[in-house]
Structure 1
Amino acid sequence: MPKIVDPEARRRAVAEAVFRVSARDGLEHASLRSIAREAGLAIGSVRHYFRDHAELMIFAMDELARRVGERIRMHAERLLSPDPGIDRRAAAQELLEEFLPLDAARHEQATLVLAFTTAARTRPELRSRVAEWDENSRAVITRVLREAHRMGSLPNDTDIPLESLRLTALIDGLTLQAVLRPDHMSPATMRRVLRRHLDTLKNA
């Protein structure tokens, strides 16, 4: 009896192979052939699920965004819950920390995001996805600051768009340093810098 294959599960398995090859060897080495080998498939099987390399890369980017989004949504639901017993300052920091490479899984994801972002400079088919990542991240950060402002945790005259840009730049900078120099930018340091920045917003 022929083996029944779930097409979506197989596509995600191939995306996993993209992640492993890219994290280990760099995105420039994530060819269809190397990805097929990593996934334990014939290259023809990969082509059965993806028309070409560009379609596979776009799917992998969407899968990466989906995983990060699931974690962020969990924290957002807690932050926006009407439960009066929730420590919203702590909830906001925990949500923002999801953007930082604070453990092995998030470090690998940050490495992949940086790789795709860099590749998009010379690969037009990736640019719209990178722009969407940036817009979605900024929207989440803006939502966090607006909620803090609504709850009275920020001064009345806080410039939310400007502070969103500033906080986004801080998170991007910490992430870049942690990916390029993990021995220099530890999780504890990133948490401390983020906490200090949030304190300056509150006391402005």
Structure 2
Amino acid sequence: MPKIVDPDERRAAVAAAVLRVAARDGLAAASLRNVAEEAGLAIGSVRHYFADHDELILFTMRELVGRIDARVTAAVRRLLADTGTDHRLRAEALLAEFLPLDATRREEAELWLAFTTAGHTRPHLRPYARELQDSLRTVLARVLTGGIASGALPASLDVELEAHRLSALLDGLTFQAVLEPDRVTPALMRRVLHSHLRFG
């Protein structure tokens, strides 16, 4: 009896292969042939699930966004449950989830930068770059609003402006850490974030 293949699982497995190839060799190396080889599939099998390379890259970008979102959402739940910790420290811990402070987050940052850079030459990728930026600013706005409600931040704080400021800070640190990992270390990123979280 032939093995029944779940299409969603197979597409996710192919997307995971794209991420592995892109993380190891760069996004340009994620050709259909290389991805098929990485996934242990015939190239015809990959083409069965994705009409072309662009569709494969778009799907993979959504998978990456979903992966980051799941990780950050889990961190938010943990931090919200930790009511014994000062709100400011919880906010700092949450914001740190967006920085490449460990191997998982570094790989996500490198992949995200690769995809967003590709968006300059592949306009169909731009909406997904915007989606992640919008998600980040939404989370930042929630953190700031929660800080105001708890009294940890001043009521006069301009939430929209501060969300943009923090987004720029996190993006800048991430870019620098990917570019110069020996100089922009996790310890330095934590110090910079801690220093900037002085709203009073």
Return the TM-score normalized by structure 2: 0.94
Aligned runs of 1:19-34 on 2, under 5 Å?
19-34=19-34
User: CA offset at residue 196 of structure 1?
Assistant: 1.1
Match of 2:128 in 1: 129
Q: Describe the superposition over 1:90-114 as per-residue Cα deviations: whole angstroms up to 9, x where unpaired.
A: 3222211111111111100000000
* Residues 1:72 and 2:72 aligned together: yes
Tell me the secondary structure at the aligned position of residue 46 of structure 2: helix
CA distance in 2, matches of 1:94, 1:67: 19
Q: Describe the superposition over 1:116-136 as per-residue Cα deviations: whole angstroms up to 9, x where unpaired.
A: 000001101111111111111
Tell me the secondary structure at the aligned position of residue 130 of structure 1: helix
Q: Describe the superposition over 1:161-201 as per-residue Cα deviations: whole angstroms up to 9, x where unpaired.
A: 11111111000000001111110111111111111111x21
CA distance in 2, matches of 1:30, 1:118: 15
Match of 2:170 in 1: 171
Match of 1:57 in 2: 57
CA distance in 2, matches of 1:142, 1:117: 23
**Structure 1 spans left out of the alignment, 5+ residues:** none
Contact 2:87 2:152 in 1 (8 A): no
Matched AA of 2:119: A
* Residues 1:47 and 2:47 aligned together: yes
CA distance in 2, matches of 1:91, 1:12: 33
* Identity score, percent: 58
Aligned runs of 1:111-122 on 2, under 5 Å?
111-122=110-121
Match of 2:105 in 1: 106
- Equivalent pairs, count: 200
CA distance in 1, matches of 2:162, 2:4: 51
**Structure 2 spans left out of the alignment, 5+ residues:** none
Distance 1:44 1:136, change over 3 A: same
Match of 2:89 in 1: 90
Report the RMSD for the aligned CA atoms in angstroms: 1.4
Contact 1:75 1:91 in 2 (8 A): no
Tell me the secondary structure at the aligned position of residue 61 of structure 1: helix
Tell me the secondary structure at the aligned position of residue 17 of structure 2: helix
Match of 2:187 in 1: 188
